[in-house]
Chain A
Amino acid sequence: MQGIVSYGSYVPKYRIKPEEIARVWGEDPDNIKNGIFILSKSVPAPDEDVATISVEAARRALLRGKIDPKDIGAIYIGSESHPYAVKPTATIVASAIGADFRMFAADYEFACKAGTAAMQNVLAMVDSGMIKYGMAIGADTSQGAPGDALEYSASAGGTAFIIGKENVIAEIKHTLSVTSDTPDFWRREGQPYPTHGERFTGEPAYFRHTLSAARGIMEKAGTEPKDYKYVILHQPNGKFPTRAAKTLGFTEEQYKTGLLTPYIGNTYSAAMMNGLSAVLDIASPGDKILAVSFGSGAGSDGFHIEVTDNYEKMDVKSAPTMAEILSNTEFLDYAVYAKFKKKIVMGEELE
């Protein structure tokens, strides 16, 4: 049996509301709020990036699972906002948690599904016996150009999963991916902000891949929506996952626990993984979970997960739960947000 042995999440404390962004750019706040169903989004402090968020999530996962960092045989980190273009975030995280010198490490990139691609990779390495435990992290401090639609949703956060065969709290029974060349969203090398392909973002990108992966997993597992206690879908906004879940035949009861975007925005590589973290905070043995990520470009990773009896042995509260993380917030106005996000250019000599 292989699956999730432990998990940990981190979301920066700061938030901004869409109406504050809309005020600056002369948009109708109600239109924006209702259009994307985001009530606030997280903002990283000036001294936070994907490395710091990943380290905090990784430490929380080690703490909750009472796992010796020397037993972590691989660290893979998925993000589209790694602090370096060349120098892996995984090297910084490995050093900061005190991992062994001899281990596998790399950074992944596949828009918002890079973290779940890391989960699949680590799962395969555990399954093959290459490593005892592996750590897969999804973390982002995502970018939206000032005044662009993405600025209302692009936020920051991260989740780390430790995957192994011993003391598995949530077995990953099935996983699959779907992939196609779709021009829905991209960022060219050296560009500070991404570009989106407008009408491509919905049906041909998010919905086609997310729905296909969800249906594919249920076909593989021989399950129907009613068999699942929880469903978590990638959540670029509050609307898309709600519509996709309903299209698949899921109810609000099943998707509401893992739907965090209305409160923290789109945490990109961490979005589905944060939702899964929130679900694992309150799960019970026997619960079945369907989790599907989506990454632009485009593809989706689907997971059929079952919570095991070992879950009862874990002290969930030994690391901050998602509810605790989300209760500690401070709201910013647009000016401070712009300063924190370096949208105000101060010149090289002042940085």
Chain B
Amino acid sequence: MGELSRIWRESDHRYRLIGHVCRNCNTVYFPPRDICPTCHRDSVGKMEEIQLSGKGSIFSYTVVHDAPPAFRRQRPYIIALIKLDEGPTLTAQIVDTKPENVSSGKRVHAVFRKIREDGSGGILQYGYKFVIDEPPKA
């Protein structure tokens, strides 16, 4: 049940990339934080929700070949550190591409995908993953 309540509690930021911005120093945080780690008590009451664009660049990445059972259908899969345009860096899967197409610096955008299935009868967990931006057609 702990897992279920976590999924429910985190759905805003996992579904919609809702972060927090500290209105004291204007730093954007993802996942959301109640207190700004720089401003500490000065940020109390000044942390506001912010809708992130889901646009960013690959900072670094790795290709997972030894996949856990739940990801075996997607092997090998790509996990990347993505630097969002608003500032925060997050970890997410890169989908709809092959490892040879991935490189640091490539532009990506967030998509809504299934993250995990809890067996055949349990809850389905959804959230963000990223795909590489299509280069503009000539």
Contacts and interface: CB of A to CB of B under 8 A. Distances in A.
| Interface bin, chain B | 20 to 34
A52 interface: yes
B72 A350 contact: yes
Contacts, number: 68
A228 interface: no
A348 B79 CA distance: 25
A55 interface: yes
A83 interface: yes
Given A51-B126, A92-B126, A327-B137, 6 more contacts: A47-B95, A47-B129, A52-B113, A55-B126, A95-B12, A340-B73
Interface in B93-138: 95-96, 111-115, 117, 119-120, 124, 126, 129, 134, 137
B122 to A, nearest CB: 10
Contacts of A52: 111-114, 126
A96 B70 CA distance: 23
A204 B15 CA distance: 44
Interface of B: 11-12, 15-16, 51, 69-70, 72-74, 95-96, 111-115, 117, 119-120, 124, 126, 129, 134, 137
Nearest to A53: B112
A49 B112 contact: no
Interface residues of A, number: 30
A168 to B, nearest CB: 27
A84 interface: yes
Most A CB within 10 A of own CB, among B111, B115, B134: B111
Nearest to B131: A13
A198 interface: no
A56 B16 contact: no
A134 B137 CA distance: 34
Contact of A48 (B16, B72, B113): B113
13 contacts: A45-B113, A48-B113, A48-B114, A59-B112, A83-B114, A95-B16, A97-B16, A98-B16, A330-B96, A339-B73, A349-B69, A350-B70, A350-B72
A47 B113 CA distance: 6
